[in-house]
Amino acid sequence: MINVSEVIDELKYLLDHCVAEETLSSKLEDKLTILRQAYLADKTAFAPGHISFLKNLSENISKQLVLFIELKEELPNIYSVDEHIDVRARLVSVKTELHSLAVSKRVSKEIRELDERLPSLKEQEDTRLQSKVIGRIYDLERDAPHCSRGHVMVVRESHGSHFWACSKYPMHEETKSMSPQEKAYLLN
C-alpha cells in the first residue's frame, strides 16, 4: 500500500522545483495515475485536503501544462503579428494559472523570446503588405487612364494616399483621384 501523504508531498516538491514542463507533466500524470488506483482501492486513505489538492492538480495545473506544451510547439510557426498576439495572450493566461509554480519561469522565458521576435514579425508583415500593394499597383497600371494630353498615367503615393499622375511628370503635372473601387482593390 502506498503512503498517500508521501506521494502528495512528492507532487508538491515537483511543482515547487521542476521547471522542465514535459518532465513535470509526465511525472504528474504518473503520480496521479498511482493515486487514482490507490483511491479506488482505499478511499479512506485520502483526507479532504488531499482530494481538493488532487482535483486542482488534475483539473487545472495538468491542463495548463499540456496547453503550455502545445503552445510551445506553435511558437516556431508564428509568422504574423496577429498570431503573435493570440499566442502571447494564451501564454500569459497559462503563466497566470501557473504563477506559483517553478515552471512559470519557463513560460515567462517563452513569452520574452516571443516578444523578441515581434519587431521582425512586424517588418516581415510590412514587407508582405508592400509586395501586395506593388503587385496591385502593377495590375491597376495595366488598364491605366490617360491624362488630358493622352499620356498614360501611373499610380503615385503622397502622404499615405494613392492617386493617378501623368507619367511625363515633371513636364506635365496632371493628377487624378483614384476611384473608390481602385482604392479598395489597392489597400484590401
E-strand spans in 74-186?
A: 153-158, 161-166, 175-177
The whole domain housing 164 covers 143-187
Do 56 and 25 lie in one domain? The reply is yes
The residues that bridge with 177 in the sheet, in sequence order, are 163
Q: Which of 188, 133, 127 is nearest to 157 (CA)?
A: 133
Are 10 and 83 found together in one domain? yes
Same domain? 48 vs 103: yes
Instruction: Flag whether pLDDT at 93 surpasses 80.
Output: yes
User: Does residue 96 carry a pLDDT above 80?
Assistant: yes
Across-strand partners of 156? 163
Is the residue at 28 inside a domain? yes
175, part of any domain: yes
* Residue 187, C-beta contacts closer than 8 angstroms, at least 6 positions apart: 133, 162
- Residues 84, 74: Cα–Cα separation, whole Å: 10
Structural domain includes residue 161: yes
76 preceded by cis ω (within 30°)?
Answer: no
* DSSP E strand stretches across 3-133: none
Triad 131, 134, 138: Cα angle to 5°: 140
Considering the domain architecture, whether residues 87 and 50 belong to the same structural domain is answered as yes
For residues 37 and 91, membership in a common domain is answered with yes
Determine the 3-state secondary structure of 153 from DSSP: strand
Considering the domain boundaries, does residue 94 fall inside one?
Answer: yes
Position 46 in a domain? yes
Cα–Cα distance, 79 to 96 (Å, whole number): 25
- What total number of domains does the chain contain? 2
pLDDT above 90 covers what percent of the chain?
96
Choose between 138 and 188: higher pLDDT: 138
Structure confidence at residue 64 (pLDDT): 95
Q: Does 1 have pLDDT greater than 80?
A: no
Distance CA 40, CA 114 (A): 44
Buried/exposed code over 95-112 (b: 16+ C-beta within 10 A; e: otherwise): bebbeebebbebbeebbe
What confidence tens digit (pLDDT) does each residue in 20-60 have?
A: 999 999 999 999 999 999 999 999 999 999 999 999 998 89
Residue 75 carries which DSSP code?
G
Query: Residues 126-178: pLDDT tens digits?
Result: 999 999 999 999 999 999 999 999 999 999 999 989 999 999 999 999 999 99
